[in-house]
Structure 1
């Protein structure tokens, strides 16, 4: 005889997990967040005004309103049709060449001073740091005379050399701190596995030091991208001028072409913002290198 089994009753006695009540943020946290948003708005407000001015018609620049009554998107298009795209490409070559020059010189210098305790090492690092005390504006006469004797005035190469030279000290110091924070035992283990000095550097040390390398490169790139005084002094022809100098042409003696000036400034700012946003985490990690051991 078949025995019918009753269906398994639902487990009503199963205890449901209590839902934890949502905690309200502390007053200190709310105040800190509010202050952070206010500070962020203060820093972003000039960029907002720059963007809104770039989209205003010339006839509405004196209106006492934040938002324009008529949006003029052709101001941004004039950047590409007015010849400034070439100056943007010159700026890219100068910033990229200066960054590559700093990379080629600062990496071996920082690695050698971090791994070898030679006589005069501290004096060398102090001498490198001392070069940061001199500003290019205080040495413009000497810089111009030197490049004039070498026939490099009004040349992109002069801008690459000057920007690379004045950003080299920062790169050497930050890379030296990062290489010093990497244990030597990792390289010694690579030596046992059959790697030489260059093999251990490129396979072990350099990948670990990549946040510091990116930090040095991004600061060099931004400094060369925004440089104005040396470029204004060493370049005379419009085809060799970077964008910072080319935008200065919108400032006349009696009138300023604000909408085109700000339109070019907006376009010149976008690549740097995107680049910094992509590598922001590694930049922060590189700046804190060597702070904790």
Structure 2
């Protein structure tokens, strides 16, 4: 069975043809991508430099970009404010969301792809229609707030992961289902003949072959829960349970913005996301594009 799985996986890999552009178009495309990189990197560079400036350098006139003495006092202030604990809480929220999302998305995608049951098309349509709602979680903020408030769960540790999982689940199901469509059903039939049940098929065949899609869905769920701001700001008012994004916003005071600590906290908050995309960038692309290639 293992050899059949290994033999089936490479057969579905197709190498995309590279389109050779004329020299003028190639230069124009390269310049466009270079411009986009500069536009996207400028805020990050500005944030790093600002986080390393003292209060005197921040409000110096005329302002300077590089002519200043770097200091870590803003990072020290952020750390002493308890921001490291906030990072730990947010990591727990994000990891819990990823685990719950993948644990529900894989069997759901398997059921949609492999079985015929009443209302299958209707339920699948609801999943697809829920994807825009998951991208804009604030649309469901009021009903979620009323529901969890009546249950007295607005400050429970599992409230945010539960909401995040519900928001990320439709997209995860859709990504995983696209990959399952490329896995030959003959593997399922061979496993059934060998005496396996559907749980065994899901665990021994579907899970190994769908790891790229699960990785992509997991990364998207992690990033989505990490970057969420509106729901966490409303549903949680306990400082010990507050995630990163509302905690960064706290550095905007009543009498103005504390740019040094604000940018230092923001830089610390984006480090996990940058590491994920640097280390798992190729897996994300593979998981998102694998289901679009059949054969």
Q: Spell out, residue by residue over 1:64-89, the C-alpha distance to the aligned partner (whole angstroms, 9 max, x if none).
A: 22224110123223332221111111
Separation of aligned partners in 2, 1:68 and 1:197: 65
- The aligned counterpart of 1:59 is 56
Q: What 5-or-longer segments of structure 1 have no aligned partner?
A: 1-24
Q: Spell out, residue by residue over 1:254-282, the C-alpha distance to the aligned partner (whole angstroms, 9 max, x if none).
A: 21111111111111101111112111111
Separation of aligned partners in 1, 2:252 and 2:73: 20
SS at match of 2:113: helix
- Following superposition of structure 1 onto structure 2, how do residues 79-118 of structure 1 map, counting pairs within 5 Å? 79-118=78-117
Separation of aligned partners in 2, 1:129 and 1:204: 26
User: Shift of residue 292 of structure 1?
Assistant: 2.1
Separation of aligned partners in 1, 2:249 and 2:79: 17
Larger Rg: 1
Separation of aligned partners in 1, 2:67 and 2:249: 24
Greater displacement, 124-133 / 157-166? 124-133
Contact 1:87–1:246 (Cα < 8 Å) also in 2: yes
- The aligned counterpart of 1:69 is 68
- Following superposition of structure 1 onto structure 2, how do residues 120-135 of structure 1 map, counting pairs within 5 Å? 120-134=119-133, 135=136
User: Shift of residue 193 of structure 1?
Assistant: 4.2
Separation of aligned partners in 1, 2:99 and 2:195: 30
Question: Aligned pairs, how many?
Answer: 269
Separation of aligned partners in 2, 1:141 and 1:216: 27
Matched, 1:247 2:248: yes
Separation of aligned partners in 2, 1:230 and 1:249: 15
Segments of 4+ moved more than 6 angstroms: none
- The aligned counterpart of 1:139 is 140
Q: 1:256 to 1:185 in 2, by over 3 A?
A: same
Q: What 5-or-longer segments of structure 2 have no aligned partner?
A: 1-21
RMSD: 1.8
Separation of aligned partners in 2, 1:251 and 1:74: 17
- Following superposition of structure 1 onto structure 2, how do residues 1-293 of structure 1 map, counting pairs within 5 Å? 26-63=23-60, 64-134=63-133, 135-293=136-294
Separation of aligned partners in 2, 1:204 and 1:72: 54
TM superposition score normalised by structure 2:
0.85
User: Shift of residue 39 of structure 1?
Assistant: 1.3
TM superposition score normalised by structure 1:
0.86
Contact 1:52–1:68 (Cα < 8 Å) also in 2: no
Separation of aligned partners in 2, 1:68 and 1:154: 45
Q: Spell out, residue by residue over 1:22-75, the C-alpha distance to the aligned partner (whole angstroms, 9 max, x if none).
A: xxx944434332322221111111111111111111111134222241101232
Q: 1:26 to 1:139 in 2, by over 3 A?
A: closer
Separation of aligned partners in 2, 1:68 and 1:242: 35
Contact 2:107–2:202 (Cα < 8 Å) also in 1: no
